C-alpha cells in the first residue's frame, strides 16, 4: 500500500511539474509589442488560447474573467465587465447545421466524421460568428451556402438550424457559452463571420474563450486575416 501511495504521489508530482514547465515555457515565449503576458494564474485552456494568439501574431488581445452571473445580466452589464466599446462589440460563436444537406455530401452514418465538413462550400456544419445585439438570419445563411456551392444542389437541400449540443461540444472542444473558434478541436470546420463585426469601431470585439467565465477581445481585421472566415451579411 505504501509503495502504491508513493507511486501515485510521484505520478501526481510529475503531472504538476509538467504543467508548470509548460506554463513557464509559454510565459517565456517572445511577445510582440501590444501582446499581454500570460497571467500567472492562467488555466490550461487560457494558456493554450493565449499561446495560439501569440503564435498567430496578433498585435494585441485581452483575456477577461467575468463573474459567475455574467450570462444572467443584460448586455450593458457585460459590456462594462469586459470594458467593451459598446454592446455591439460583444459577439458569440455558434455551430449551425444544414439538416437537409444532400446525402452525397456527408457521412450519414457518423455525424462527427470530417467528411461532414470536407467541402467548405457545402458543409454540414458551419461555425458562425455574430453579435449578441444582432440576430442570425437562417434564410440569408441558406441562400449564401446555396450560392457558394454553385447551385449544384437544389434549394430543398438547405435548411440551417442550431447544431445539437453534443456536436458543438465534440467539434469545438468547448461547452455552452464557452465556444470559440480559437483552438477548436475540429479546426477545419468552415467559418462564416457577420460583416457587421468587421465594421465595428474601434476594431476590437469580444468572444468566448473556452471557459464560461473567460472572454477574449481582439481586432476583427486581424482575426479575418489569421483565421480566414467568410465574411458575409447573415443577420437581420
Tens-digit pLDDT profile for residues 135-174 = 999 999 999 999 998 888 999 999 999 999 999 999 999 9
Q: Which residues contact 55 (CB under 8 A, 6 or more apart)?
A: 29
What is the pLDDT at residue 31? 74
In the prediction, which pLDDT does 29 show?
A: 54
| Strand (E) or helix (H) holding 231 | strand 230-232
Report the pLDDT averaged over residues 176-192: 97
Look up the CATH number of domain 70-232.
3.90.960.10
The domain segmentation of the chain, as residue ranges, is 2-60, 70-232
| Residues of the chain above pLDDT 90, percent | 84
- 120, 150, 229 from 153: Cα distances, Å: 15, 8, 23
pTM (two decimals): 0.86
Per-residue confidence band for 17, with pLDDT thresholds at 50, 70 and 90 = low
Using CA atoms, how far residue 66 sits from 40, 110, 209, 215, in Å, is 17, 37, 11, 8
Where are the extended beta strands (E) located within 74-184? 91-98, 125-131, 160-162
Average pLDDT, the chain: 90
Amino acid at each position: 500500500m505504501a509503495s502504491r501511495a508513493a507511486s501515485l504521489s510521484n505520478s501526481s508530482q510529475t503531472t504538476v511539474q509538467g504543467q508548470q514547465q509548460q506554463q513557464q515555457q509559454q510565459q517565456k515565449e517572445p511577445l510582440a509589442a501590444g501582446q499581454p503576458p500570460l497571467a500567472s494564474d492562467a488555466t490550461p485552456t487560457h494558456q493554450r488560447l493565449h499561446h495560439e494568439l501569440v503564435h498567430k501574431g496578433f498585435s494585441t488581445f485581452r483575456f477577461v474573467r467575468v463573474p459567475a452571473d455574467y450570462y444572467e445580466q443584460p448586455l450593458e452589464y457585460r459590456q462594462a465587465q469586459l470594458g467593451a466599446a459598446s454592446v455591439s462589440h460583444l459577439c458569440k460563436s455558434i455551430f449551425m447545421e444544414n439538416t437537409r444537406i444532400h446525402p452525397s455530401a456527408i457521412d450519414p452514418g457518423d455525424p462527427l466524421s470530417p467528411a461532414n465538413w470536407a467541402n467548405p462550400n457545402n458543409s454540414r456544419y458551419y461555425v458562425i460568428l455574430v453579435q449578441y445585439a444582432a440576430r442570425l438570419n437562417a434564410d440569408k445563411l441558406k441562400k449564401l451556402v446555396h450560392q457558394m456551392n454553385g447551385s449544384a444542389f437544389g434549394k430543398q437541400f438547405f435548411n440551417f438550424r442550431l447544431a445539437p449540443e453534443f456536436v458543438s461540444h465534440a467539434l469545438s472542444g468547448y461547452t455552452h457559452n464557452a465556444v470559440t473558434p480559437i483552438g477548436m478541436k475540429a479546426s477545419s470546420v468552415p467559418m462564416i463571420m457577420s460583416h457587421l463585426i468587421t465594421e465595428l469601431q474601434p476594431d476590437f470585439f469580444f468572444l468566448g474563450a473556452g471557459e464560461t467565465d473567460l472572454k477574449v477581445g481582439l481586432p476583427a481585421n486581424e482575426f479575418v486575416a489569421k483565421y480566414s472566415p467568410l465574411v458575409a451579411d447573415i443577420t437581420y
